[in-house]
Amino acid sequence: MQRKFISFFVLMSMLMAALSGCAPAAAPSGQPAAAPAAGTSPTGEVVTLDFYWIGNGDTDQRSLVQDNINEYIEPLIGANIVFHIVGWGDWPTKAVTALQAGENIDLFFTADWREYMTLATQGLFRPLNDDNGEYGNLLEEYGQDILTGLNPAFITGTQIDGVNYAVPTNKELTVPEGFIYNVALAEDIGFTEADAANIKSLRDLEPWLEKAKAARPDEYPYLTDGSGGFQPFVPGFASGVDSALISMKYAPDAAGNFDETIYSVMETDWAKEYTQTMYEWNQKGWIHPDAGLTTFNTAELRNAGKFFIESQPLKGSNIKAQELVNASGNPDLRLAEIYAQPKVNITTHSGGSMFAIPMLSEHPVEAMKYLNLMHSDPKLVNMMLFGVEGTHWEYEADGRVNLINSAWYGAHAGAWTVGNTLLQAVTNKEDPNKNQMLIDYADDSVDHPSLGFRFRTEPVAAELTALSAVSDGVSRALRTGYVDPSVELPKYIDALKAAGLDTVLEEVQKQYDAWKAAKGE
């Protein structure tokens, strides 16, 4: 009954919500937020905000970081923070389940690739720009620095029918897929930067994987959890639908034209070739035998330098590789990058990192004030990112950061989730201009035709549940070479179709056509 009430309330809020008045983009002040963010809570008491953050898992440094942050923010917003850092693989079962069960949560990580559309349309996220809302227009009243610091495209680009259900991070917009590779092992086998530049397909990697396995027989050179690298389809194309099942081609052709066909991915020739390649690599001992299990954690082997190459979303200028090095805690780890996709802007990256305020939060005003500090206060931003100054990190003479203890930095998801990246310091292993480079990387990118499309899952909710039951385990097993695709892929496709795959594809097509028509295209 409670869930139905929440959904009804949000539906009414959506009908009444007005578009937020976004101020023109401007440089953030770099100072703590002004009057609306200062002082105590409306009740006059110091409240506690439960902050759910995706990442690599909890750390024994969390209490120390929390205590220092709380000492700083309590006089500013009348609130304290408690971080709940939930591992990547545990997020659906621990974080999302906690949200759906009505646990105390005041700030919740979300993204277009992490249940944003689904949870918003289920009525679990509070509308943030609703003039008629119970707490007023939270963004306008308590998020002024968010609105002035973000490019307006981030605000409008993450709306659902004109309503903001989460605050996006000010970060890179263009995130092509590619690979990071272990430089130390590359040097051992003679793999140079020129060789890396000549990798244009998975098959091009095979001679090097063979050499890497020969150099380190006890290791598995291709580190994977089933993600792509040379994946030709748009990640997160239809919100709430696995893009390994239904998607659209990612890259334009040589003439710059996009193919807007919506594909049943596992029925394509690409899927046959990809799953066969993974099976062959697994049989050769190039892929870890546990890679097909959801409990397999690629970060552990990467951080230890026990791999050759791994697919990753990238950001240009070797930035992602260096971020992974910093988070690893391994002073000997060196990583470099290989790009597998052109620079194309897609929906899942415009909303690639956000924080929502759940409907059941008892402290939405303080939660918005905290988000506003994340977009205006460099002291808070750097504490959230690096931990306690003097204990976990210290400034060097040039203003960059020397990481003394990376336990906190390696626990949470990373800089791309922390407020306004332009307020962040960078480590002494990174380019001083890194954060501006992240923003500028999108300057020569192109927009995918589907940019801004968000799928509503309600008409096919039963089919999606059935598809999930079929794909759980099997999809990853096929994409990591755990099973023989000549036997299992046809069975898998038949099972998907029996579960309603074609019905879902038809609904995605219907909504995409309606979305295009509404845009006048």
For the stretch 161-171, pLDDT in tens is 889 999 999 99
**DSSP-assigned letters across all residues of 134-191:** TT--HHHHH-HHHHHHS-HHHHHHT-BTTB--SEEPB--S---EEEEEEHHHHHHHT-
Domain-embedded: residue 161: yes
Task: Name the residue type at position 381.
Answer: V
How far is it, in rounded angstroms, from Cα 202 to Cα 441?
Answer: 25
- State which residues form the domain around 364: 2-172+350-378
How far is it, in rounded angstroms, from Cα 179 to Cα 261?
Answer: 27
Report the predicted TM-score, pTM, of the whole model to 2 decimal places: 0.80
For the stretch 414-449, pLDDT in tens is 999 999 999 999 999 999 999 999 989 988 999 999
For the stretch 233-248, pLDDT in tens is 999 999 889 999 999 9
Domain count, the chain: 1
How far is it, in rounded angstroms, from Cα 270 to Cα 228?
Answer: 11
Q: Which tokens hold the place of 208?
A: 């090097």
Task: Name the residue type at position 439.
Answer: I
Identify which of 270, 197, 198 has the alpha carbon closest to the alpha carbon of residue 231: 270
**Terminal CA-CA length for the chain:** 41
Domain-embedded: residue 70: yes
For the stretch 89-127, pLDDT in tens is 899 999 999 999 999 999 999 999 899 999 999 999 999
Domain-embedded: residue 26: yes
Phi, then psi, of 404 in degrees rounded to 5: -85, -40
Output the pLDDT for position 92. 93
- Cβ distance 457 to 464 under 8 Å? yes
**DSSP-assigned letters across all residues of 207-260:** HHHHHHHHH-TTS-SEE-SS--SS--B-TTSSTTS-TTTEEEB-S--TTS----
| pLDDT above 70: percentage of residues in the chain | 92
Domain-embedded: residue 373: yes
Domain-embedded: residue 89: yes
For the stretch 313-365, pLDDT in tens is 999 999 999 999 998 989 999 999 999 999 999 998 889 999 999 999 999 99
Could you tell me which residues come within 8 angstroms of residue 60 by beta carbon, excluding any fewer than 6 positions away?
407
48 sits in which H/E element: strand 47-55
How far is it, in rounded angstroms, from Cα 469 to Cα 113?
Answer: 19
How far is it, in rounded angstroms, from Cα 164 to Cα 147?
Answer: 12
CATH code at position 153: 3.40.190.10
Domain-embedded: residue 312: no
- For residue 347, the Cα-to-chain-centroid distance in whole angstroms is 12
Domain-embedded: residue 365: yes
Domain-embedded: residue 93: yes
Mean pLDDT in residue range 274-278: 97
